[in-house]
Amino acid sequence: MKISLVYHVFIVFVVFFGLHFSAISNASANPRYASIILEESSGKILFSRNADKQLRPASLTKIMTLYLMFEALQQKKVTMDTRMKVSRVAASRSPSKLYLKSGHTITVKNAILALVTKSANDVATVVAEHLGGGSEREFARKMTRKAKSLGMSRTIFRNASGLPHSSQYSTARDMARLGMAVRRDFPQYFHYFSRTQFNWNGRKFKNHNRLLKIFRGTDGIKTGYTNAAGFNLVATAERNGVRLIGVVFGGKTGRSRDKHMVSILDKQFKRVKPIQVKRLPTTSLPAPRPIEILQATAKSVPVPVRAPVSAPSRPAKAPLSLATTTLLPRILDAPPQQWSIQVGSFSRRISAHKAAISARRTAGTVLTRRPAQLSLVVQGQIPLWRVQFRKLDEGEARAACAALFSAGSACIALPDDILAETS
């Protein structure tokens, strides 16, 4: 009887601790694994595993390459039709590639599409050499500097493609920040990440991001793979006004990576409540200055509001009710030499108002006498209040953003003619 009891206790011990150690083993079986899910509007972390562990980014690197390309487009250093020359070095890059030939050229637009869909390494080098003064190494330095300015503190880039390099690494958290930055800073170009295919010289290349087809609400952004990194993915998806961004590093296969991303995104969508946008009555805020109508499109209903400053230089216009739903014609186009900054979008008008005050305080003398403009826009059927400061020169806009970045605040600077296209 005693022997039988001891035997059963032994069995229980073995089973329990065997399972325990097995669980530990499984958790550490994949040292390349990391993940994170963020809610975009708040930046709240909903799920994370090893989010700050430095790992190989693989072709997620190309998201930064594209960020700098979008920046060059925004600054009008290139156009979509600009032709970039293919060097011997670029042509020699290993697959995935378009098999570009040395001496040939490729347009900026085709380069963007090739990076998003095919993840072409030869194209990444072409972009790097074109924007880096002929040097991919110099371009990689620019990538790293930009990463630091975006808060990607644990990221170092050594090339534009993500091809293996011993000192090139990033984290799940940093890549989530990059994904959010691309959407925030370049909304006019983000749609390229949702392209499902790219036609080149009679060949059709499909986007490697399968979530665009298998997970409802997905609209970007990029996959990555090397032997050292495993299968990586950054993805954004929106449901019921809630937008999540997810990152997975180190998948053992592309299919298992996608399955895992779908699982963690789906769980968080079920947990997060849809955004409930409340329109505040104008009486809840101090009486605003007269409102100037800038422009409106089918996707936006801007209602810019002047913050308390000295008398405006042009005659005041009649106030516009927040309840107005009629689309307004384009009646003002800011001159190209003028710049603006945008410091955020908010679901509540009062939050936007506070952000404008905080930005003016943080940026100091640059924004002291500049009007803050609050614009009501609609994104994905969700009304948001956008905060902008306009009528700056380029130096003032960049100085203001630099001050805001230093304080940990978001800021984008761009010419008013480009801003008008994206409003």
Per 3-state DSSP, the chain is made up of helix, strand and coil in percentages (nearest 5) of 40, 20, 40
Question: Within a 10 A sphere around the Cβ of 196, how many other Cβ atoms?
Answer: 12
Q: List, in sequence order, the alpha helices (H) in 272-388.
A: 349-363
Out of 62, 97, 142, 222, pick the active-site residue: 62
* Residue 270 CA to its chain's centroid (Å): 23
**4 labelled catalytic:** no
Length, in residues, of the chain = 423
43/32 Cα distance (integer angstroms): 24
Out of 35, 59, 170, 375, pick the active-site residue: 59
**62 labelled catalytic:** yes
Sign (positive/negative) of CA torsion 249, 253, 258, 259? negative
Report which secondary-structure segment, H or E, holds 321. Answer: none
331/420 Cα distance (integer angstroms): 11
Please classify residue 248 by burial: count the beta carbons closer than 10 Å to its beta carbon, then call 0-12 exposed, 13-18 middle and 19+ buried. Answer: buried
β-bridge partners, 105: 85
105/172 Cα distance (integer angstroms): 34
Question: Within a 10 A sphere around the Cβ of 236, how many other Cβ atoms?
Answer: 25
What is the 3 state secondary structure string of 366-410?
HCCCCCEEEEEEEECCEEEEEEEEEEECHHHHHHHHHHHHHCCCC
Residue 297 DSSP class: B
Closest by CA position to 351, among listed 343, 362, 363, 361: 343
β-bridge partners, 234: 222, 247
- Which amino acid, 30? N
Out of 119, 300, 340, 375, pick the active-site residue: 119
User: Residue 61: helix, strand or coil by DSSP?
Assistant: helix
Q: Which residues are catalytic?
A: 59, 62, 119
